[in-house]
Amino acid sequence: MKRILIGALLATLVAPVAHAAPKAIPVQLGSIYSATAGTELFLQLAKSSIFISNVTKQSADIQLTAVALSGTQLWQRVIDSGADEVATVATLDPQGNIWLAGSAALLPAAETATPVVVADNPDSVNIDAGAKLRGDMNNLALWKISATGEVIGTYLSPLKIIPSVTAISATNSGLSVIGTLDAKPFVISATTSGTIGKLIAIGTSKTELNALSRNSDGSISLFGSSAETLAGKKVAGIRDGVLIKLSKSGSITSLIRSSAVKASRSWISGDSSHLLSGPVVTGKNVETAITKFTTAFSPSWTLRIPSAGASATITANGNSYLAITSRSAITGISGWKPTQPSLLVITFDSKGVMKAATALPGLVTPISLHYSSARGVVGLASSADGTVSIFTLASR
């Protein structure tokens, strides 16, 4: 009997221990709210939502509308210098000011007085004065607006051709924008008082910059993709995702390539905590990679999820959030089997473990994610027909 007991004990010591697989998380439903007509950009203040659109009247103008959590309109402001102006990106600074960036034209120069010469007009034909020519929008433009809608400043930097601004980041030390000029990526920084620095070119048209984070010391972290050699580092896949650190003076101090064999990768979303997401395309297979990097660009955790490629990220309250266009079931999420591309927001804990999943029926493509203490995570997304709405992760 004693030998049997010892044998049984030894068997329990050497036998492999079976661990239960993590329990799949169920899909929950979030809430969807209407955006103001024509909304292109969105920001969330503590207790109000800011809807931003480009409107055309006598000239191209920018309209901002603030709406309280109750749905009541608080204020509306139209930025109209008399010349054309378009905002393509928006952010908040630590003081709660709204910063817009885009392109603008200058007002035509006032004509100097000249002697009036009356021409012979025997047939009394009415001759209309010609319309003034509209200037090209070849000025990089920054607008600073208070939380109550007052335009604090408009700052312009003339360029040779029209710039396309694609992302902006603001800190106490200033702000930085990225974009393209003649199909080539650039970075420009400015002080909080609107003094705009020099344009810094990064690579050629084979490189894309999609997101950035301005650091407190004035250095900049850039996120995008490249199909060319940068800082002496060659392409490893068809196209690699890239993380680039620029010093305050604008020189590249660090560059990391994210690559996969015979694959095209890109980082298209990133925040100040270096939570990044972007597509990984291998043949016909499309996934979204989400990775939390350290400030030294070392990955803390990473995961790939089947998707249609579009994504947005944000870090808040110790969690990481990923909004994706999903078109198939996802391992670890129960009850999620979309029959067509649909918006899904996944919540991760600090170690990258899924802890929640939220469906937003009718929405498809994530545009941006934001956070406020009063509302939690709130985002902007579009439906299949292009209609734009905002959403929250909490049910009504």
Q: Residue 117 pLDDT more than 70? A: no
Q: Residue 111 pLDDT more than 50? A: no
Range from 45-59, 119-133, 220-234, 262-276 carrying the lowest mean pLDDT: 119-133
Q: Which two tokens stand for residue 252?
A: 């590249």
Residues near 340 by Cβ (< 8 Å), separated by ≥ 6?
327, 384
Condensed to tens digits (0 to 9), the pLDDT of residues 184-224 reads 999 999 999 999 999 999 999 999 999 999 998 899 999 99
More confident residue, 39 or 46: 39
Condensed to tens digits (0 to 9), the pLDDT of residues 263-297 reads 999 999 999 999 999 999 999 999 999 999 999 99
Q: Residue 303 pLDDT more than 70? A: yes
Q: Which two tokens stand for residue 84?
A: 């054309």
Picking from 367, 368, 223, 214, the residue whose alpha carbon sits closest to that of residue 293 is: 223
β pairing state of 41-44 and 98-104: unpaired
Is 381 in contact with 34 (CB distance < 8 Å)? no
Condensed to tens digits (0 to 9), the pLDDT of residues 345-359 reads 999 999 999 999 999
Residues near 285 by Cβ (< 8 Å), separated by ≥ 6?
none
C-alpha of 71 from chain center: 25
Q: Residue 338 pLDDT more than 60? A: yes
Distance in angstroms (rounded) separating the CA atoms of residues 250 and 313: 26
Helices (H) and strands (E) in the chain, counts: 1, 31
Picking from 260, 186, 156, 175, the residue whose alpha carbon sits closest to that of residue 215 is: 175
